Amino acid sequence: HTPRADTQNSLPPLGKMEVINADKGHVFVIEGEPMQNILVIEEGVLLRTKLSVPQHKRRASLEQIETVTQETLLGQSVVVDKIAGRGRVAGMLHSFTKTNSYGDGAFATVSAEGPCKVWMLGTDHFQACITQTPERSLYLLNLLAHELRVGSKSLRGLIQSAKGSGGRKSDKDVVRV
């Protein structure tokens, strides 16, 4: 059941979001630290990097860096991906756990690739808001299900396109993701 539009308009506000106008290199979260905010991009690109040292040495490696900056981390890290586009989000997965302990903290360091405008919503506040009313929870689940459907259809389209252009005849020639 998807909430009706009139129900959505009467939902309590999601909460106060803080806007950050960040310069290139601004570090929002460091790999392994608790993810305390959901980051929503308005403008710019976020860079996610992962230390290129064995997992058991990562904490010690970070502790050796006096001032953690994007520049100091890039020398020891691998770029995982870039998050770009208005409304794109980082930190959502961590926001769904009560203890904020999915894994052992943030999967990667998140920093600004260049100047950017990012809105931050505290995960504690987010959890309180979505558990406040069933309508808000259902609405959020509806949005997430829609995103999953769009992603699945896009992936299927890419696979079909790859099969068509590569002359492949069967699914066994396609890598499943």
Backbone phi, then psi, for 55, in 5-degree steps?
-50, -45
Per-residue pLDDT of the chain (177 residues; tens, 9 = 90+): 334 444 444 445 556 889 999 999 899 998 888 888 999 999 999 999 988 766 666 566 655 555 566 666 667 788 999 999 998 999 888 887 765 444 558 888 899 999 999 999 988 888 888 888 888 888 888 888 888 888 888 888 888 888 875 555 555 555 555
Alpha helices in the chain (DSSP H): 5-9, 58-64, 70-74, 123-130, 134-166
What's the pTM value of the predicted model, to 2 decimals? 0.68
Residue 89 tokens read as 């989000």
Give the C-alpha separation, 30 to 73, whole Å.
Answer: 9
- Virtual torsion, Cα 157, 159, 165, 171, nearest 10 deg: -130
